[in-house]
Amino acid sequence: MIERQSTKLRRLLRAKTFLHMPSVYNVIGARLVESLGFEAVYIGGYVTGGSTAITEPLLTMNEQIDLARMIAENVNIPLLADAGSGWGEPIHTMRTMREFIRGGIAGVHIEDALYPKRAHYHKYVVHGVPVEEFVEKVEYSCKERDRSDPDFVVIARTDTCRALGLEEASMRLNRAADVGADLGLLFPRTRQEAEDAPKKCRLPLVYVQSRGNRDGRPIIPRKDLEQMGYIGCIEAQVTLCTEFHFLKKALTELRSTGDYTGMTNAEYVASRQAVEDLIGLNEYYEIEAKTVEARQPKDQKS
């Protein structure tokens, strides 16, 4: 029997393994993350919205789940996903949890942001919902977890630290703990708040490394986060932003000169081989060599 990703994630959490999770938006990125030894991988609304040019506030549940399912089916490490505000009220959030579970995803985070999300979210304008609405969504997310897959991980996320401070944010996560949330996620504004948060919250916390953020939230080394008591961290923008940065450089040179000199031919060959290894071409070659290619006349083989 194939082990559920959620069960793998639970085992890592019980072992107190620090989960360093790069955010990806396609299968090749997820397989690269896995091949480099990361413990888990993450799909965020920002990178899904950015890579598709839909933008996170306009993403539908199906768009996020379909991509998450495709990634989960093609890696052997747990995938955590951004479930936004659950795409509605408690009944819609329950359905959202059910679909993520059916898709083989290991866990999600559910947030206290207004639904539908506004574009001003990306300008750090907080449109929060009352704590009772947030707690209800978390509660019914956990009920669906318990019914469909008890190993599925529900992460309660609050954005209120940005506007209302750490006391409000930690209170919300503690309320979420009371209704069954497994982990918590908030957004400390300073390093001091980052240090204080695990002491104030009864849930194990995941930190978000928002590289390139424009509101001054700190990027904290992994070893420091471990010492502070965090259970893991999400690298929210590292893949999308670095890929865009280097792709733009390559395409700019290609457009202006007709050539790209940033890689040698040997590096191209090595990169292409690495891609083919990650997508499993060697296995397909072996199967064909034993079947259809074995029956092909020798004079037709190149």
Q: What is the pLDDT of residue 301?
A: 62
Q: Is the pLDDT score of 289 beyond 90?
A: yes
Q: What is the pLDDT of residue 233?
A: 99
Q: Beta 205-209 vs 19-22: how paired, if at all?
A: unpaired
164, exposed or middle or buried, with CB in 10 Å at 0-12, 13-18, 19+?
middle
Q: What is the pLDDT of residue 268?
A: 96
Q: Which two tokens stand for residue 226?
A: 């471990």
| Lookup result for tokens 């609050």 | 158
| Full strand arrangement of the beta sheet holding 19-22 | 19-22, 232-235, 205-209, 183-185, 153-157, 107-111, 79-82, 41-43
List of domains in the chain: 5-244 (3.20.20.60), 263-296 (no CATH)
Q: What is the pLDDT of residue 244?
A: 97
- 27, 241 contact by CB (below 8 A): no
CA distance linking residue 131 with residue 154, whole number of Å:
17
- 27, 72 contact by CB (below 8 A): no
205-257: per-residue pLDDT in tens?
999 999 999 989 999 999 999 999 999 999 999 999 999 999 999 999 999 99
Q: Measured in whole angstroms, how far is the alpha carbon of residue 150 from the centre of its chain? A: 20
CA distance linking residue 158 with residue 121, whole number of Å:
13
111-124: per-residue pLDDT in tens?
999 999 999 888 88
- 178, 201 contact by CB (below 8 A): no
CA distances (Å), origin 228, targets 176, 198, 206, 249, 263: 21, 7, 11, 38, 40
Q: What is the pLDDT of residue 297?
A: 81
Q: Is the dihedral of CA 151, 104, 91, 158 positive or negative?
A: positive
Q: Is the pLDDT score of 299 beyond 90?
A: no
2-54: per-residue pLDDT in tens?
899 999 999 999 999 999 999 999 999 999 999 999 999 999 999 999 999 99
pTM for the structure as a whole: 0.94
Measured in degrees and rounded to the nearest 5, phi and psi for residue 209 equal -85, 95
Taking alpha carbons only, the member of 212, 211, 206 closest to residue 226 is: 206
52-100: per-residue pLDDT in tens?
999 999 999 999 999 999 999 999 999 999 999 999 999 999 999 999 9
- 158, 173 contact by CB (below 8 A): yes
| Lookup result for tokens 């070893």 | 223
Taking alpha carbons only, the member of 81, 83, 65, 75 closest to residue 30 is: 75
